[in-house]
Amino acid sequence: MKTSILLSTAAAVFSASCMADTISIRADDWFPINGQPDAAKPGFMIELATRIFTEAGHEVDYKLMPWERAVDSVRKGEFDCVVGAYKEDAPDFIFPNENWGIDDTGFFVKEGDSWTYSGPDSLLQRKVAVINGYAYGDTLDKLIEDNPSVFQGLGGSDALEKNVKKLEAGRADVIIESPSVMQAKLKEMGVSGIVLAGTLDEPSEIYIACSPAKDSSKQYMDLVDKGTAKLRASGELAKIMESYGLEDWK
């Protein structure tokens, strides 16, 4: 009987270990949504993903890479998920029912600049810094595509930092960016004198989203839906958000 119990226990442990996955997450640096992998505060989406996936018996492998390459690599199935995605970024990806935040699009200028955003056409006489591969909404995406002389796109995991430096140096007049992300980046860089000059006023849901090329993606997104509800009910989600100076979006 003892031998039988030991064998059954060993089989259960072996089965559980076989079912445990290492879930790979890739994105560019977009703090406070996601930041440096080895930081004490890697971003609230990374904390949510790590909490949910590890409680389900999995491990998380999170690294930074340029956004365009992150989306392309996850789409091909080289990695599992991206974080900080709009549905417009990757409409073919597998999304959970639960979003992980609400975001808007802001327009930033140097302090003293009298320009304010008053619609898409108000951008056309400016030099506007954007990040390659980002979705800014259908109207702005089309405007950016049709006016390459106006919109200056950069890639790389440090694209926002480079855009801030361009604005400071006068090589750009406007940066388009999430207000919460921009404020965090300015604080990190110790930069002042850059101010918000309007928003698109079209809040969008942001998500973790997983590869359309992997059968495991639907399972992971089911875990996200159940895990998010559990964290919210326990109050842990609110605590994680509060640690970044944010509130639960619902």
| 237's tokens | 């989600």
What is the 8-class DSSP label of residue 123?
G
Domains 2-102+205-242 and 105-199 share a fold: yes
Please state the pTM of the whole predicted model.
0.87
pLDDT digits (tens, 9 = 90+) for 152-180: 999 988 999 999 999 999 999 999 999 99
At the top level of CATH, which class does the domain 105-199 belong to? alpha beta
> How much is the pLDDT for 20?
82
DSSP-based three-state secondary structure for 215:
coil
Average pLDDT in the 13-19 region? 44
CB atoms within 10 A of CB 124: 13
Longest CA span, the chain: 83
> How much is the pLDDT for 157?
84
Confidence of residue 4 (pLDDT cuts 50, 70, 90): very low
At the top level of CATH, which class does the domain 2-102+205-242 belong to? alpha beta
pLDDT digits (tens, 9 = 90+) for 176-228: 999 999 999 999 999 999 999 999 999 999 999 999 999 999 999 999 999 99
